[in-house]
Every structure is written in structure tokens, then in C-alpha cells.
Amino acid sequence: MRKIRTRFAPSPSGYLHVGGARTALFNWLYAQHTQGSFILRIEDTDQARSTDESVRAIFEGLEWLGIQWDEGPFYQSQRSEIYAEHIDKLISTGNAYYCTCTPDEIEAMREKARAKGEKPRYDGTCRNKELGPQTGAVVRFKAPQSANTILDDVVKGSIVFANNELDDFVIRRSDGMPTYNLAVVVDDVTMNINTVLRGDDHVMNTPKQILIYQALGHELPVFAHVPMVLGDDRTRLSKRHGATSVTAYRDMGLLPDAFVNYLARLGWSYGDQEFFTRQELIEKFTLERIGKSAGIFDPVKMQALNADHIQAAAPEVIAPHVKPFLQESGYNTDDETYLKALIPTLQPRSKTLREMAEQAHFYYRPELEYDEKAVKKFLKPAIVEPLKALKENLSSLTSFDEKKLETVFVNLMEKFEIKLGKIAQPVRVALTGTSVSPGIFEIIAVLGKKKVLQRLEKAIELIQAR
């Protein structure tokens, strides 16, 4: 079997958006699934709209998603000679020609066609003039005027385009720049791309591209046009529906694996399964399972999936992604062991990494911030003696494990004749400043002796100062 070669070919005129990320992901997954290659190509021939900043944003988005390309990035802006060579070839084989019709003349042709109730089109004035190169001339593709061009699409099925619908379209502008349809085919041909998987907004371009493949004498790739991603009102996903940039979701605290899982399910399915690890996606991703109907982007569902991924992930997978949020609050996160120990206590309680970092404040704050209500309710004079006793018992322990901590608390309960709740809540407030937190045994184990003893002491002082 031939090796699969896919590509992602973004135009760098903005950030990496959800739809683009989905295209990149499908191409990457398919290459991974088939042990093929995934190529990154930056389509920056539109100099007016392309910016370096957008190129960087695309890299940043892909990096966060964990999508690595095997070849590239290739830049169209650096490939002018290759396009020129192919355009010359098309001219010399009689598949393209120079055209000197002026914009006014072309507008007049269009007007004439419209007046006759026909589709506006170039009328072929220069088709057989055999003009040579000259300044201001464009190059047009000599499109066949009869028969059909058929797109056999893996997703859409067979789509028939009547060739007489096409006019002799421009493949090189008067400034010498190739047009999109020419550049994309020359690139895909010279990069040996055999699987073109992209958004279905490109279906209408495909017959022109097929004609160029044929004129160049090159075998067609497999085409797979994926339905657009839609918003909840079933219109194409746009800013009106909320954030569409991939990095906005990173900044909201999504785990990349969760976002990748959610993206994959936008237009691809595997039975009813919703949760996929990255590895599972690679194992299961085939073109046949891409759906015909558009995926609807649902941020609420995405967040629920994120919570599931946070719950299921290993602490070491979460650690690098939650760190930036902790650092945003000014915390020093150099102690990896501490970070990896506290993560499991927050995993079941966090829908996003941002939420996880917010709940981790008490682990990092040098001085606790106390919730006034909790202090009033739980830090009362009657609890001073039990807290003192707890301090003493804990200070004699050499290590904290659940069993030992349990014994300490059972002894306290017996000694002071109080229920666990009566002692656990004050301890929680003493250690976290609030009345809601992970289990106190877990917290004690993570915080460690020094911090625990300091915070108990501080709570005692607080009560006594009242």
C-alpha cells in the first residue's frame, strides 16, 4: 500500500480557529493512523492578508494541540519558481495561454453574459491568439468546454460538474503571482500529497483543481471534504458564537487532549463513544467514519468532556498545563513533586484547569486568605484545645499517611468527645481558609508537616485574638 501523505494548508490571515484546527487534526490523525506523513504548508501568497503574527499563532495553536508535522513548514511565498515552471509547462502543452484583456473588457463580457441570462464568464477572446509573455498579461487555464468533471469525494460521494459551467480561469495574475487553485495543485503534486482532506468550502474549487491535475498529467489525490463546523443556530461557526480561536480555549483551561477529543467528534464518530484518548483516536480514525452532516460546536458539552479528561488524566499530564494558571497568580511552581501531589486532590472537583488553579490557591499562598463566614462559624474558642492536641500529635508523626492520620483523628474524637465533623471543619478552615476543599487527610498529606503546623498555630492565634 502506498504511504499516505496528508497536509494542512492554512492561509495565515488570523489565528488558528476551531474549523482550521479540526482540519489539521483530521489530517494528522489520518497520517498517524496509517503511519503516513503529515505536511504543514503556509499559504501566504496573499501578501496583503498574510502576517507573521498569524503564522506564529498557527504554530502556537498546533503546538498546544500536540499536533506535530512531519515535513515543513513550507511557505508558498518561497516557491514562486516552482509555480512559474508549472505555469510555463501548462502554456507549452497548450493548456494555458496569455490573456491581455483589460478589466473593463472583462466586465463588458460579463455584462453581456448577464444580459443574456447566462453565468458571467470570460468569453475566450485570447484563447487562440497564442500571445507571448508581456507586462500586464494574465495567464488563463484553457478549460474544456464540454463533458463533465467528476469529483469522487470520500465524504460527499460523487459530484458532477458540467465543464461548460467553467470559464478559462486565471492561474497567474498580472503581477506574476499564481492564483490559489494553481498554487494548491502544484504544491500538492510536488509534495506528493495523495489525500486532500479539507473543509467543504473548497468543493467549488475542486473541479478547477482536478482539471489542472489532469493537464499536468498527474494522478488525482483522494479528496475528502468535511462539512463546516456550525454554531448552535446552525450557521457557520463565527465570533458571534463566542471564542473561535484555539488559544482562547487553552486560556479558558481546557486540557489539549479534551479539546482534541471534542474537535474529533465534530464531524467524525465511532458509534456512540464520546470519550477518546489521543491514542484511541489515532487507532480508530478512518476517512469512512467522517459524517456527511455538519458538527455543531457546543461549548457546554466541550466543558463536560474536559471535566472527564481532567478526571482521567495522570497528574504528570496535567501538571505542565495547569502551571501557567498558577504562575498567573504569581506562584512558584518549581516544586514538581508538590504540584503532582496536589493535582489528584483537585481532579474530581475541576471542570477546567483554570478552576483547578483557583482551588489550589491555599496550597500555594504563603498567607491564607480567610473566608470570614467560615472563620466565624468554625473557629470558636471550644476548638482551641482540640487543635492544640492535633498539632502535638501531628508533630510527633514522622510521615503522614491516611491510616496514621485517621488514628490521630479518632484519638482526638475520643479524647474530646466530639464527632468527626466538629473537628474536621475547623481543621479545614485552619488549613485552607475556607469551608469547602478536598478531604482533610488528603490536604494534610499534601501540605506536609511544616505548613500544617504553622496553619494550625495561626488558627489558634486567630481564635485567641478575638
Binding region for ligand GLU (CB under 6 A):
9-11, 43, 184, 198, 202
Cis ω before 73 (30° cut-off from 0): yes
The three three-digit cell numbers of residue 441, written as one number? 487527610
Query: Strand pairing partners for 52?
Result: none
Q: C-beta of 184: minimal distance to ligand GLU in Å? A: 5
For the CA atoms of 354, 355, 360, 364, what is the dihedral angle to 10 degrees?
30
Q: What residues contact 126, with CB distance under 8 A and at least 6 apart? A: 97, 98, 99, 100, 101, 140
Q: What residues contact 400, with CB distance under 8 A and at least 6 apart? A: 394, 444, 445, 448, 449
Q: C-beta of 446: minimal distance to ligand GLU in Å? A: 47
Q: C-beta of 82: minimal distance to ligand GLU in Å? A: 16
Rounded to the nearest 10 degrees, the angle between the axes of helix 420-432 and helix 402-416 is: 120
The three three-digit cell numbers of residue 378, written as one number? 468554625
Q: Which is nearer to ligand GLU, 38 or 378 (CB)?
A: 38
Q: Which is nearer to ligand GLU, 11 or 192 (CB)?
A: 11
Residue type, 326: L
Neighbour count for residue 31 (Cβ, 10 Å): 25
Q: Which is nearer to ligand GLU, 40 or 390 (CB)?
A: 40
Closest to 276 measured CA to CA, from 261, 290, 287, 288: 261
Q: Which is nearer to ligand GLU, 9 or 456 (CB)?
A: 9
Residues carrying an active site annotation: 239
Q: What is the spatial distance between Cα 282 and Cα 21, in angstroms, rounded to a whole number? A: 16
In the three-class reduction of DSSP (H, G, I as helix; E, B as strand; rest coil), residue 93 is classed as coil
Q: Which is nearer to ligand GLU, 43 or 167 (CB)?
A: 43
Residue 5 near residue 193, CB atoms below 8 Å: yes
Q: Which is nearer to ligand GLU, 4 or 9 (CB)?
A: 9
In terms of phi and psi (left: phi > 0; alpha: psi -120 to 50; beta: otherwise), the region of 94 is left
Q: C-beta of 189: minimal distance to ligand GLU in Å? A: 13
Residue 463 near residue 381, CB atoms below 8 Å: yes
Q: C-beta of 209: minimal distance to ligand GLU in Å? A: 8
From the CA atom positions of the chain, what is the Rg in Å?
A: 32
The 8-class DSSP code of residue 267 comes to: S
Q: C-beta of 215: minimal distance to ligand GLU in Å? A: 18
Q: Which is nearer to ligand GLU, 152 or 461 (CB)?
A: 152
Q: C-beta of 198: minimal distance to ligand GLU in Å? A: 4
Q: Which is nearer to ligand GLU, 237 or 390 (CB)?
A: 237
Biggest alpha carbon distance in the chain? 107
Q: C-beta of 93: minimal distance to ligand GLU in Å? A: 24
| CA 427 to chain centroid | 42
Q: Are strands 170-172 and 138-141 parallel, antiparallel or unpaired?
A: antiparallel
